[in-house]
């Protein structure tokens, strides 16, 4: 049984402001919680209903667990159809990225991606392609937003997401900077080499000028048909695929 | 001003049963309506509020147009935040596909795709890559579902979507049949040639057995990292990209 203030406190974690104040976020559903449990993330408390078999999670005894009513779980959940378990997890503070974290591999850089479903999808794609770091502009949607966590389908447990000032960040490292831009080189004729940063921009406006100025290789996905644009998640997947194709041959 | 029965009739078009009975579907927003207006689709009536400048659409005089109240438009719309114009468009009856419609190009085949957002995304991707035909199993979500239309972002006006019995369909043509399957050939080492059908399956269960039995080339997107799966829209995009890469070189 949760007190009214406990419910309000958990519910408030749907908002970035309160996540930052409290230092926690919520993960819903046992499948995703298992992924966070097998990761560097620190689970604080697991809340579950009687319907849930807590052995499924195989949690350490150090983690608090708390049976709650279906009614309380519905109040706390951000889902229309809540699952029977929710975990409160500590927001990690990753050490600042250094050159050695980035060399010999590709990392994604997101400039102003707004839609939480898109960011979640991009995290899942990064995880599929073995990309370990995503660096976001400060106006990109928060990675701990419940819709991002949901859409990432557990991949957030494995891909580290940073937010930072992109113009400072991009000037710090001597790596090729690929930017998904109009009128760039054809993605299918680009040699991505074996390391670099790949920037994808905002859904409507693309990469902002200050950031574009730091792109060393403008790259474009050629359009064969007539659709006006590709979704940023789809574009990310096509870039990751071409990079993989390049580096694994 | 719409009568109550007109409102109910338009609203009912959110459901497949009533779309099939009446032979119409709805498209919301001027951007998409313009695409349908420049296509073989036949617009029956355009409903708009005073806020809307109907000249934007540049419609033929043969098309009915009808100013309605914001309140009525909200009742008819399937969107949380309705736009200021909705068109009622005739569901076309495409002539059955023949060999000559399919040779020398690639077409998509969808086996049981359930999520309307996924189908809409797939239609948009097909349009981007110049794919003109999508053949769906009868249990795939209806292409005229409002969420599909919305997610296709006007591309439904250019890509023809058929629904049919897939096992019959696949036996009719002498074309290579590529299937997105586990344990198939690596997509990056596959020669797709210059024509064929590409089958993508249901979000959870993939391609069903009877359909899989008709696949001539099983193909797989290799996983580098750890995400359990890729969304079917993303998988479609990666296949279309590889096919494009292959056939345009």
Q: Could you report the per-residue pLDDT of A114-166, keeping only the tens digit for each?
A: 999 999 999 999 999 999 999 999 999 999 999 999 999 999 999 999 999 99
Q: What distance in Å separates the CA atoms of residue B91 and residue B114, rounded to the nearest whole number?
A: 20
Chain A touched by B115 (CB under 8 Å): no
Q: What distance in Å separates the CA atoms of residue B36 and residue B59, rounded to the nearest whole number?
A: 11
**ipTM of the shown complex:** 0.92
Summarize the confidence of residues A241-247 as an average pLDDT: 85
Instruction: Looking at the complex, report in whole angstroms how far the Cα of residue B57 sits from the nearest Cα belonging to chain A.
Output: 18
Q: What distance in Å separates the CA atoms of residue B56 and residue B64, rounded to the nearest whole number?
A: 15
Residue numbers in A near B127 (CB within 8 A): 225-227
Domain assignments of chain A as residue spans, ordered by start? 4-90, 99-248
What pLDDT is attached to residue A60? 77
Q: Which of A220, A199, A203 is nearest to A106 (CA)?
A: A199
Q: What distance in Å separates the CA atoms of residue B219 and residue B41, rounded to the nearest whole number?
A: 35
What pLDDT is attached to residue B249? 45
Chain B touched by A131 (CB under 8 Å): yes
Whether the domain at A4-90 and the domain at A99-248 fall into the same CATH topology: no
Chain B touched by A39 (CB under 8 Å): no
The alpha carbons of chain A give a radius of gyration, in whole angstroms, of: 20
Closest chain B residue to the Cα of A126, Cα to Cα: B225
Query: How long a stretch of residues is chain B?
Result: 249
pTM: 0.93
Summarize the confidence of residues A239-243 as an average pLDDT: 96
Is residue B114 within 8 A of residue B108, CB to CB? The reply is no
Closest chain A residue to the Cα of B249, Cα to Cα: A188
Q: What distance in Å separates the CA atoms of residue B184 and residue A160, rounded to the nearest whole number?
A: 31
Chain A touched by B116 (CB under 8 Å): no
Q: CA distances (Å), B143 to each of A91, A210, B34, B157, B218, in order?
A: 41, 41, 18, 11, 26
Beta-bridge partner residues of B138: none
Q: Which of B87, B151, B160, B159 is nearest to A226 (CA)?
A: B159
Q: How many CB pairs under 8 A join A and B?
A: 99
What is the tens place of the pLDDT at every residue in B125-157?
999 999 999 999 999 999 999 999 999 999 999
Q: Which CATH architecture has domain B4-90?
A: 2-Layer Sandwich (3.30)
Query: How long a stretch of residues is chain A?
Result: 249
A97 phi/psi in degrees, rounded to 5: -70, 135
Select A99-248's CATH number: 3.30.1330.30, 3.40.250.10, 3.40.50.970, 3.40.1280.10: 3.40.1280.10
Which residue of A204, A241, A242, A248 to mutate against B (max B Cβ within 10 Å)? A241
Q: For tokens 């096992």, name the residue.
A: B167
Which residue of A32, A194, A227 to mutate against B (max B Cβ within 10 Å)? A227
Residue numbers in B near A231 (CB within 8 A): 121, 124
Q: What distance in Å separates the CA atoms of residue B43 and residue B157, rounded to the nearest whole number?
A: 11
Token readout for A45 is: 């408390």
What pLDDT is attached to residue B248? 55
């Amino acid at each position: 049984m949760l007190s009214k203030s406990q419910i309000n406190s958990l519910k408030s974690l749907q908002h970035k402001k309160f996540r930052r104040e409290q230092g926690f976020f919520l993960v819903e559903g046992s499948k995703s919680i298992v992924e966070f449990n097998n990761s560097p993330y620190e689970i604080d408390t697991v809340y579950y209903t009687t319907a849930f078999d807590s052995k499924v999670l195989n949690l350490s005894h150090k983690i608090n667990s708390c049976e709650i009513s279906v009614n309380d779980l519905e109040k706390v959940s951000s889902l229309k159809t809540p699952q029977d378990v929710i975990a409160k997890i500590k927001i990690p503070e990753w050490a600042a990225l250094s050159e050695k974290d980035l060399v010999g591999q590709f990392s994604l850089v997101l400039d102003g991606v707004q839609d939480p479903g898109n960011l979640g999808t991009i995290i899942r794609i990064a995880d599929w392609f073995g990309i370990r770091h995503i660096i976001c502009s400060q106006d990109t949607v928060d990675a701990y937003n419940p819709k991002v966590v949901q859409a990432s389908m557990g991949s957030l447990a494995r891909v580290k997401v940073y937010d930072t000032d992109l113009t400072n960040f991009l000037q710090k490292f001597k790596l090729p900077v690929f930017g998904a831009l109009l009128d760039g080189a054809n993605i299918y004729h680009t040699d991505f080499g074996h390391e670099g940063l790949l920037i994808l921009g905002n859904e409507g406006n693309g990469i902002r000028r200050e950031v574009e100025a730091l792109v060393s290789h403008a790259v474009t996905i050629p359009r064969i048909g007539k659709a006006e644009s590709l979704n940023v998640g789809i574009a990310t997947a096509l870039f990751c695929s071409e990079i993989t194709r390049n580096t694994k041959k």
